[in-house]
Amino acid sequence: MSKHEEIKQMFHRYVMPTYAPKLALVRGQGTRVWDPDGKTYLDFIAGIAVLNVGHSHPRVVDAIREQAGRLIHVSNLYYTENQARLARKLSDVGLGGKCFFGNSGAEANEGLIKLARLWGHAENRYEIVCMKNSFHGRTLATAAATGQSKVQKGFDPMPEGFRHADFNDIGSVRALVNEKTVAVLLEAVQGEGGILPADPVFMRDIRALCDEKNLLMLCDEVQCGMGRTGRWFGYQAYDAVPDAFSVAKALGSGYPIGALVAGEKLSDVFQPGNHASTFGGTPLACAAALATMETIEEEGLIERARTVGATFAKRLRGLADGRDHVVDVRGRGFMLGIVLNRPAQDICARLAENGLLTLATAENVVRMLPPLNVTDEELDQAFAILDRWL
């Protein structure tokens, strides 16, 4: 039996089938990954927007190795320098306030939800207006916040306190605001929903509505953050600053870490005993995240995502010529979607067979999230595969 087959069989026997993988991978470097038979692929999924600095970036690997040999974990009962330094860095590029650390996107969003509820508690305000088509995670509260019924199906009763408005329709958001509303939660670019950017006017109107009704504006930056859209955070392309946002995925380059980043207004709402996480912000996780953020800065990856991502998107638009099944190319930076008039699954499988890993999303969108340091040559290779097989 081949190594590939052996891994697959053991997986099917012992791992719950929540995902349906087709391919085993054993190694990654930059934008390339290898399967057990030695075949290589261009990884334009990047761990679903996790590997913004590429697979096994030497700087991140060194930081993890060095920190692992010194201090991995002590709990949050003690001060650790890395956590303070990472919080300062996120605050500097974010909202100027304070951070709370967890381990995943869902946990970061759960933190946002709890923070908003605690902030509104004295006035008995707890409802959060979320968007249809959004994705916020798989815990019960974040699944309830998610605006896709397929995520909730079979798990009812869902926690109460979440309502869903139409994305990019301020009238629909306003109609759901009542005396119990405490916040509005949205993604600047919906990822799982099909790479759908928020309208600039909509984002501005959300901020104005939150100011008018004394609501918190909360952004989920889990997928569109960390430089992916050509800004540190997706909301920064807009004339609207949220009160707090969540970040995870690319923050630790694959080492699990998530954070909730708040502006000054919300910096001291959580007090001892209100919220906690054993593994939140360990010295090791924070070392990985600090190395990631320094790499993004020093290699100019935000600028690269913005400029090279826009050029690549323009090239992709050319693919629509002569292909009736390609109806649109949308997104920001290196968060791109090719919209088809048919299911994307088969086409993604064909692209993978021919060496390019992409991800079908929202049924008919071929999603591409390459590392932000993908080379020009790798972009040419990916384009050639798309040109031949799309």
Residues that bind ligand PLP (CB under 6 A): 48, 104-106, 109, 135-137, 187, 191-192, 220, 222-223, 248
Distance separating the N- and C-terminal Cα atoms of the chain: 33
Largest CA distance in the chain: 65
The smaller minimum CB distance to ligand PLP, of residues 31 and 109, is found at 109
Closest separation between CB of residue 225 and ligand PLP, Å? 9
The smaller minimum CB distance to ligand PLP, of residues 82 and 109, is found at 109
Closest separation between CB of residue 239 and ligand PLP, Å? 22
Closest separation between CB of residue 133 and ligand PLP, Å? 11
Which one-letter DSSP state was computed for residue 40?
Answer: E
Contact 48, 369 (CB under 8 A): yes
Closest separation between CB of residue 193 and ligand PLP, Å? 9
The smaller minimum CB distance to ligand PLP, of residues 105 and 309, is found at 105
- How far apart CA 246 and CA 226 sit, in angstroms, is 11
How far is C-alpha 109 from the chain's CA centre? 11
Closest separation between CB of residue 310 and ligand PLP, Å? 22
The smaller minimum CB distance to ligand PLP, of residues 83 and 103, is found at 103
Helix (H) or strand (E) holding 14: helix 3-14
Closest separation between CB of residue 104 and ligand PLP, Å? 4
The smaller minimum CB distance to ligand PLP, of residues 365 and 379, is found at 365
* Residue whose beta carbon is closest to ligand PLP: 105
What is the residue type of 263? G
Please, is 229 exposed, middle or buried when counting C-beta atoms within 10 Å of its C-beta (0-12, 13-18, 19+)?
A: buried
The smaller minimum CB distance to ligand PLP, of residues 127 and 192, is found at 192
CA-based torsion, 51, 57, 63, 64: positive or negative: positive
